Amino acid sequence: MSGFETDRRTPAGLPQTADRALQVLLAFDRARPEWGVTEVATEFGLHTSIAQRLLATLAHRGFLVQDTANRRYRIGPAALHLGRMWDQAGALDILVRPLLAELAEATGHSALLALPDSAHMRCVVVAEGADGRLRDYPLTNELYPAHAGATSKSFYAFLPDEQRSRIFTDRPLARFTDRTVTDLAELEAQFAEVRANGWAYTVGEYDLGVATLAVPVFLRDEPYGSVSVGWLSGQYRHDPTEWVELLREVSSRVSLRLTRPIPRRPRRGRL
């Protein structure tokens, strides 16, 4: 299956039909945005009649829509509804905050998860370290410009070139401090360095006197957000490379909690 690895076996005590339907739904991703009946049957080892009923049921409830021209299925509006409910219910906070709290405790500084929001990164979950807040107000929902600071650069560096170009080309880049890079060629060189290293470190690019170390978070091999630690550079002296592996571990655990990949089992016979 493209992108999402899952155990095809339904655990004992759970309804098999419902589990199959959810497995089919999880097969839709950016790498494989549409599926046909025969493809689903082959991929999941099902008879075409069963695959047809599963897809038709998901479409009936709005989780899929069928293109009448080629009779293939894509994700439907019900998935958008669940996505909005996910945001409103605070489930991301429940899953991620404990991991960030561990990171904040280990470093003594504020740790946060940021997700892309157009040409910015938005802080969605934060845990404060022993040194307290970086600012006089909570960082939740704080926006960080795409071109300034490690929190942003660790994410945007890993976007496909065409997608990143649409964000930065023909857009004025504001200068926040004397360290802010506003030249696009220089910025692309920094993005290349971030990709080579797998992490970003900046001092005073967005906030004067604030140092930030960040790593990307990937979901199904696609950039999803970034995990970062920030501290007052005038009060604390750190070698950021000492924390890179710690941040990478937290990033991996965040990804695991949001995707729950399970090792793939050998495909069973047709049902």
pLDDT tens figures, 222-239 = 899 999 999 998 788 888
112 - beta bridge partners?
126, 228
Q: What pLDDT score does 5 carry?
A: 46
Burial of 225 (0-12, 13-18, 19+ CB in 10 A): buried
Q: What is the pLDDT of residue 110?
A: 92
pLDDT of 195 over the 60 cut: yes
**Token pair recorded at residue 231:** 């501290």
Tell me if 20 sits within 8 A of 10, measured CB to CB.
yes
Q: Model pTM?
A: 0.72
Q: Are 144 and 114 in contact (CB under 8 A)?
A: yes
**Does the pLDDT at position 6 exceed 60?**
no
pLDDT at 8: 63
pLDDT tens digit sequence for 69-113: 899 999 888 887 777 666 655 678 888 999 999 999 999 999 999
Q: Which residues fall within 8 angstroms of residue 193, CB to CB, at 6 or more apart? A: none
* φ, ψ dihedrals at 155, nearest 5°: -95, -55
**Rounded mean pLDDT of the chain?**
86
- Taking the chain, what is the end-to-end CA distance rounded to the nearest angstrom? 18
Question: Which amino acid makes up residue 109?
Answer: H
pLDDT of residue 269: 44
Q: Say which residue, 265 or 86, is predicted with more confidence.
A: 86
User: Cα–Cα distances in Å, from 43 out to 34, 88, 103, 208, 259?
Assistant: 13, 34, 40, 53, 20
pLDDT tens across 125-181, in order? 999 988 877 766 677 888 999 999 999 999 999 999 999 999 988 888 999 999 999
